[in-house]
Structure formats: C-alpha cells, structure tokens
Amino acid sequence: MSLGHYLLLGAGLFVIGLFGALTRRNVIGILMSIELMFNAANINLAACNSYLHPAGVAGMTLAIFVITVAAAEVVVGLALVLAVYRNSATAYVEDFSLLKG
Amino acid sequence: MLQHVYLIPLIPLAASLLILLGAKEDPRSPMPFLGIAATGWCLLQSIAIFYGAATGELSLPYGADWNWFSFGATAGGKPFLYDMPVGVLIDGSAAVMLVVVTLVSFLVQVYSLSYMRGDPRFKRYYAYLSFFTASMLGLVVSSNLLVTFSCWELVGFSSYLLIGFWFERPEPPYAAKKAFITTKLGDLGLYLALMLIFCQVGSFQIPQIREFVARGFMPAAVATAIGLGILCGAAGKSAQFPLFIWLPDAMEGPTPVSALIHAATMVAAGIYLVAKCYFIFAISPVAMETVAWIGAITALLAATMAVVSYDIKRVLAFSTVSQLGFMMCALGSWGFSAGLFHLTTHAAFKALLFLCAGSVIHAVHTNDMRQMGNLDKKMPITFFATLVGTFAIAGIPGFSGFFSKDMILERVFEHDPRLFVILAISACLTAFYMFRLVFMTFLGQERDLDRYLHAHESPWPMTVPLFVLMALAAFSGWLLDRGEIFTRLVNFQALPGIAPAHEAAHAPAYLTWYVTAFVFFAIYLAFRLYGGSNFREAESIKRRCAPVFNLLERRYYLDDIFLALVGLSDRAARLAFWIDSEVVDRFFVDGWGLLMLALARLCHLFDDNLIDRSVDATGGLSVSLGGTLRWIVRRGLVQEYLLWSAAVMSVLTLLTLPAQRYCLGASVGLGLLAILTLLLVRRPR
C-alpha cells in the first residue's frame, strides 16, 4: 500500500460525493454526499500525515477538526432543511429557489 | 509714616472697587461716605507728610522699591537681566501734589454729596471719583515711569468716564470721546519718549534715569527728542496748544468733576510730569525753549478765547488752559518752583471757582452768563467765594495767585523778555475775563426773571468746601511764600555741570507793580463794559470787531483744523480702502482666485472625462459581466451553481498540473464534466 492508493481512494470517494451532490434531488441526499466529500478530504489528510510526516500529528488533528466541523455543519444543515420543509412541505432541492436573485 | 505711603493710592482704589461692586445702585446709598473716608485718610497722611517735610522732620526725597518682574534680553550681543521694580518716590513736588490732589478730591466729594443728590447713578459717580483719585495719586507717588504712564492712562480713562457721565444727552459722550482721543494723540509722543528712555537707560526708575543724565551719558539730541515727546504727552493732558481743544468741551461733565479733574488735578499732571522729568529738559535747551513758547502761546490764546465766551464753565475752562500755559512757560524758563507754586495755588482757586460755578449752575440751571445777573444777594456765600477766587486768579496783591504769578513773571522776565510780554498781556486778560464773569453773573440786573426767582444759596455740603478753598485761595500764597517754604521744599536740584542759562537782565522790583497796575486797568475796563445791566458798549465793540470776535468764538478755527485733519485722514483711509478693495482685492486676491478657478475647471474636466469614465467603465464591465454570468445560472438551481463551481475549480486545477500530464488530466476532467453536464441538463424540471 503506497500513498498513491490512499490518494486514489480519497479521489474516488470525493468524485462519488460530488456526483451525489450534483445529482441527488433530495436535500438530505445532498448533505450525505457532502459528508462523503469531507471524508475524502479526511482520508487525504490522515494518509499524508502518516506517510510524509510520521512523527507529527497535525494532519490527524486537522482531520478531527474537520469531523467536528462537519458534525456541526450537518446539524445546521438539517435544522435548515427542517425549517424549509415546514414552510414548503418539500425536500427537493430544485424547489428551493426563494433566494434567487 | 513714609514707609506706608504706598497705601495712599491703594486705599482709594480699594474704596472705588468696593463702591462699584459692593452695593446696589441707589440714590440714597451710603457708599459715597466710604469714598470720602478713604480720601480723607489719604488727605491726613498727605498733610502729615507735607507738614513733616516743611518743618524738616522728614528728609525728602524718600524712595522705596519692590521687585515687580525681571526679564532677560540681549543688548549688543551680551545677555542682560533687566529688573523692573515698582515703587514710590516722594520728593518735595510729590508731597505738594499729594496734598493738592487729596484735598481737592476730598472737598469735591463732599460737595458732590449735595450737587449730585438724586442722580440715578449717584454711587457709580463716587466709584469713578475714587478711581480717579487712586490713579492720580499713583501717578504722583510712583517712582517707575512705566507705572506713572499706566496711571496717566487710567487718569485719562476716568476723565473719559466722568466727562461722559451723563451719557443720555448727546454732547457728553462726544466730548468724552474727543477728550480721550485728543489726549491719546499726545500720549503717542509720551509713549515714544518712554521707549527712548528705556533704550538709553535700560530702566524706568526716575532716580536711575537722573543718575544717568547727571553723569552726562545722555546726548543732548536724545534728551531733546525725549523732552519733546514728554511735552507732547503733557500738551495733551495739560491742554496746551494745539491740543487744548478738548478741555472746553470736557465741561459737559458734572461741574464738581470739572473742578477736580479739569481744573485742579488731572490737567496739572502734564505739568507735574514735565517737572518730574525736569532733569532731561535741563540738558536740552531746545526742549526747554519749546516748553516755554508752547506755554506762552497757550496762555495768550486761551485767555483771548475766554474773553468772548458766555458759558460760565467754558470761561473757566479757557482760564484753566491759560493758567496751565503760565505754568508750562515758567517750567520752560527754568522756573521750576515758580511753575509748581502756581500749580498749587491755581488748584485751590480754580477748584474754588469751579465749585462756585457749580453752585450757580445748581441754583439757576443754566451755564449761560447772559441769563444770570444780580445773584449777589441771593447767593452771598457763593458770590463772596467767587470774588475771592477771582481776586486770587487775577493777581490782586495779597491773594495767592499774586504770589505765584509774580514769581513766574519775574522768572520769565529774566529768561526772555518776549515771553514776559506775552504772559503779562495774558495776565491782564485774565483779570478782564474773570471780572467780566463776576459782573455778568452776580451784578447788574437780573436778565431772566424765572431763573432769578428760582435761585437760592446752596446747602452746606456745597458751601463748606467753598469756605475751605476760599481760605486757601486767599492765604496759601502768602503762607507758602513766607520764608520761602515752597521754594525750599520744591526745588530743582541742578545737575552737576549744568546750570540754568544765565540771564543778562535781572527783574527789577517795580515790574510787579507795573503788571498790577495794568491788571487794575483791565478790571476797570471789565467794569465799564460789563458792570452795567446791559452791555451796550461791549455789544457795539463786538459788532465793530466782528471778524476778531468770530475768530475767537471759533477758537482760532483749531477745532475746524483738527476736524479737517480728521477728515483728511478719513479720506486717506478711504483711499487706502479703495486701493485695498479695488486693486489688491480685485487683482491679487480675486485674480488669484479666478486663476485657481480656471485651474480647477481644467482639473474637473480631466477628472470627469478620463478618471471617472474609466472608473465607470470598470464598473460597467463588472455589471455586464455579472449580467452574463447571471444568465448562465438563471434557473436558480443550487446544484447548477455547484456544477459551475466544480467545473471552474476543475479547470483551474488542470491548469496547475505539469505539462506532460496535462492532456491526460484534461481529457479525464473534460469527460467527467461533459457527463455531469449531460446529467444535469437532461433532468426534467
């Protein structure tokens, strides 16, 4: 296993996430896809840390931070989704065009 | 007693402040008694000093100085520390002046109790009087010429306040302004003289200046300049030719004020200042001669003007000017003690005459002598007092004026017979116009019945001062001349090496009697012309010599000359204003502005067309670019936005890749993008 494999895994995961985020109609699905992209980044961080700089912990620490922030982001995102759903009774993202300029 | 002499000016000052600020205005205010008490204390002190000096118990001069401030300066490249002390200097002349000022001030304040009763600004009047007294006493006792000058100006200021005391009427404010400005004209010279003194000596202390002069350090030319400057100031304050024009108008003030300020004390300040700086005049024959001639001319001109005036106070005012001319002339003829002697006696009899005039005016409510007449029975005390004063001023043997005028004439005769002739004529004119005043006011027939019936003798606060001054006018000359007390006390200590110019002639003893004979002839003439009930002869003379009378009544056109000068300076100012507004303002200021305006227009053009346009263009570019981008994402789908972001990011990322992988990366990326786009586009709404 080399670093390249890990990066490839990360890239694949990211692309899957991006694909999901662009194609899913349901907001919940989009949020989940975004989580996938976060985790792709986390894999990159952890892999780079252990291969390029084994003595340090900066990458892992950053990954932990990302996980925390992602959790918070999901909380906010779900709260928004709930609020929107209560108002418009839909979770389809193409109906969310209230802020269209 | 002498160590507390500095209190003499300070106590009236404190009294004036207390009166002015410490009580409400009230016609029945008791505050005037505070002023009277303060002046009375000063009077007692002054008399004690004078008595001590006259008997020889006190040794004069007495001087005491206190530090005021010091200042550094460089003179000729070397640093110097100048001390500016403030102090008192009491010599014989100061002792005499102290008595004169405090005595007249005291009597005038007592007199005013009745004269000013019921005036709406009764209290303020007393505050002003005390303030005047304080400034005048400060002028007398100060050893520092700068302080003397300050007091000199304060005296002028209080004179201004008091002349314009009845400011509701139109004339007094005008007269006050005239007096103030005219004396300021003279003060300009005095100020320059003081500057010159300081430049020369480096001190304002009279003893030091005297020492400087005595050692011969002061060149005669500088002394001349200083002397003429001082004379200029003295001519303003003491109403000498040609600056005497303010004094007749100053009679608009209350009569007791005229007695105090414009007869006895303030106008004597000029004489006193010349006497104080006499040592400077002593080394400058030019300045001395100028003093003498100015004095003589003033004496004659004023006496002639007094002859034609019908206003009782103006006659006295001209008479004051004339007598001041006598004093000035005496000083200029090396008659130091003669001049000051006349100052002293004149203060007594002229104050007396003014207070008598005040008494008459109080009784008949007019200044015009043509509306008086036959008042001698109605006002016996005033009549008697006026008579005594007139005898004194005319120089009737035995009365005070006789002694002093005699001394002056003798002195002047020895100095220059031409001056003597002028003064002798003036003395005869003095007798003439003074008896004319007495005849017109008190004798003959009443000419205005209403006024005559209304007339009454004045109450005691007005008559008591008359009695005191009457005694002084009658006897002070004899008292002070006896055993030459005055000359011993007030004497100019000649500087070493500088003796008065020696005169060829010595005054013969019969001179006095010649003059006296002429004086009696003048009195007879006055009786012939004005003794009767109508003045037919006088009127016919007046008609026949109309041009002369006109000249005199117009005061030698001096007022007109001054007004013309004022008009001239006015026109000069207008010309300067025109130049300023039409040339300087128009061409330089406005022209500069116009130039700037043109430049600014140019800048504006540049700014508008180039800078702003380019800014607008940038903005417009952004706007159109934004509009275009907005068209791309016009559907408002979140995922569309995300797609475009991802696409742009991908492209940017591809650009950063090394060249050999570029094709691979690009094809992979673009393929991916194409798939995504298809996915998005084909999706139904």
Mention every residue, 6+ apart, whose C-beta is less than 8 A from residue B65: B85, B86, B87, B143, B205
Q: Note whether A30 contacts B639, CB cutoff 8 Å.
A: yes
User: Does B642 contact chain A (CB < 8 Å)?
Assistant: yes
Domains and CATH numbers, chain A: 3-95 (1.10.287.3510)
Around B430, how many Cα atoms within 13 Å sit in the side-chain half-sphere?
34
Mean pLDDT of B21-25: 81
Please check the confidence at residue B685 and state whether its pLDDT lies above 80: no
Residue B620 pLDDT: 94
Give me B642's structure tokens. Answer: 């995300």
Mean pLDDT of B56-74: 84
A74-78, B102-106, B150-154, B533-537: range with lowest mean pLDDT: B533-537
Average per-residue pLDDT in chain B? 86
Residue contacts between A and B (CB atoms, under 8 Å): 28
Mention every residue, 6+ apart, whose C-beta is less than 8 A from residue B546: none
In terms of pLDDT, which residue wins out, B656 or B424? B424
Give me B24's structure tokens. Answer: 């409400």
The type of residue at B260 is L
Q: Note whether A100 contacts B643, CB cutoff 8 Å.
A: no
Q: Note whether B639 contacts A15, CB cutoff 8 Å.
A: no
Residue B684 pLDDT: 54
Q: Which of B638, B643, B676 minimises the CB distance to A93?
A: B638
* B60 sits in which H/E element: none
Please check the confidence at residue B146 and state whether its pLDDT lies above 70: yes
Residue B114 pLDDT: 85
Give residue-wise pLDDT tens across range B75-121: 777 888 888 899 899 888 888 899 999 999 999 999 888 888 888 88
In terms of pLDDT, which residue wins out, B197 or B684? B197
User: Does B633 contact chain A (CB < 8 Å)?
Assistant: no
H-state helical runs in B252-364: 255-259, 266-276, 278-282, 285-308, 312-332, 336-364
CB B71 within 8 A of CB B166: no
Q: Which residues of B touch A101 (CB under 8 A)?
A: 630
Mention every residue, 6+ apart, whose C-beta is less than 8 A from residue B550: none
Q: Which of A23, A30, A100 minimises the CB distance to B679?
A: A23
User: Does A18 contact chain B (CB < 8 Å)?
Assistant: yes
Using alpha carbons only, give the angle B286, B185, B100 rounded to the nearest 5 degrees. Answer: 75
Q: Note whether A23 contacts B639, CB cutoff 8 Å.
A: yes
Please check the confidence at residue B678 and state whether its pLDDT lies above 70: no
Please check the confidence at residue B405 and state whether its pLDDT lies above 60: yes
Q: Note whether B639 contacts A94, CB cutoff 8 Å.
A: yes
Give residue-wise pLDDT tens across range A9-59: 998 898 889 888 888 888 899 999 999 999 999 999 999 999 998 888 999
Distance from CA of B643 to the nearest CA of A (A): 7
| Nearest Cα residue to B679 out of B634, B647, B636, B631 | B647
Q: Which of B646, B680, B685 minimises the CB distance to A18?
A: B646
Band of pLDDT at residue B505, cut at 50, 70 and 90: low
H-state helical runs in B116-205: 122-141, 145-163, 171-201
Q: In whole angstroms, what is the distance from residue B394 CA to residue B400 CA? A: 10
Residue whose token pair is 């008997």:
B55
Q: Which of A18, A28, A92 to mutate to test the interface with B (most CBs of B within 10 A)?
A: A18
* B403 sits in which H/E element: helix B400-415
Give residue-wise pLDDT tens across range A78-99: 999 899 889 888 888 877 777 7
Residue B192 pLDDT: 93
Give me B244's structure tokens. Answer: 């005497």
Q: Which residues of B touch A40 (CB under 8 A)?
A: none
Mention every residue, 6+ apart, whose C-beta is less than 8 A from residue B624: none
The type of residue at B7 is L
Residue whose token pair is 């890239």:
A11
ipTM of the complex: 0.84
Phi, psi of A84 (to 5 degrees): -65, -40
* B121 sits in which H/E element: none
Q: Which of A15, A18, A94 minimises the CB distance to B637?
A: A94
User: Does B352 contact chain A (CB < 8 Å)?
Assistant: no
Band of pLDDT at residue B501, cut at 50, 70 and 90: low
Task: Find residue B80's DSSP bridge partners.
Answer: B73
Please check the confidence at residue B297 and state whether its pLDDT lies above 70: yes
Mean pLDDT of B164-174: 89
User: What does the radius of gyration of chain B's CA atoms come to, in whole angstroms?
Assistant: 41
- Reduced to 3 states (helix: H, G, I; strand: E, B; else coil), residue B109 is helix
Give residue-wise pLDDT tens across range B626-644: 888 777 777 777 777 788 7
- Reduced to 3 states (helix: H, G, I; strand: E, B; else coil), residue B87 is strand
CB B299 within 8 A of CB B326: yes
Give residue-wise pLDDT tens across range B554-612: 777 888 888 888 889 999 999 999 998 888 888 888 889 999 999 999 999 999 999 99
Residue B479 pLDDT: 82
Q: Which of B630, B642, B685 minimises the CB distance to A22?
A: B642
Residue B683 pLDDT: 58
Give me B110's structure tokens. Answer: 């007592």
Q: In whole angstroms, what is the distance from residue B637 CA to residue B642 CA? A: 9
Which chain B residue's Cα is nearest to A30?
B639
Q: Note whether B639 contacts A18, CB cutoff 8 Å.
A: no
Return the DSSP state at B96.
Answer: H
Give residue-wise pLDDT tens across range B124-133: 888 999 999 9
Please check the confidence at residue B489 and state whether its pLDDT lies above 90: no
Distance from CA of B618 to the nearest CA of A (A): 22
Q: Note whether B646 contacts A22, CB cutoff 8 Å.
A: yes
Residue B573 pLDDT: 93
Q: Note whether B637 contacts A30, CB cutoff 8 Å.
A: no
Distance from CA of B641 to the nearest CA of A (A): 9
Q: Which of A14, A16, A23 to mutate to test the interface with B (most CBs of B within 10 A)?
A: A23
* Chain A 57-76, residues with CB within 8 Å of chain B CB atoms: none
Give residue-wise pLDDT tens across range B343-365: 999 999 999 999 999 888 888 88
Q: Which residues of A touch B642 (CB under 8 A)?
A: 21-22
CB A46 within 8 A of CB A28: no
Residue B636 pLDDT: 72
Q: Which residues of A touch B646 (CB under 8 A)?
A: 18, 22
In terms of pLDDT, which residue wins out, B483 or B435? B435
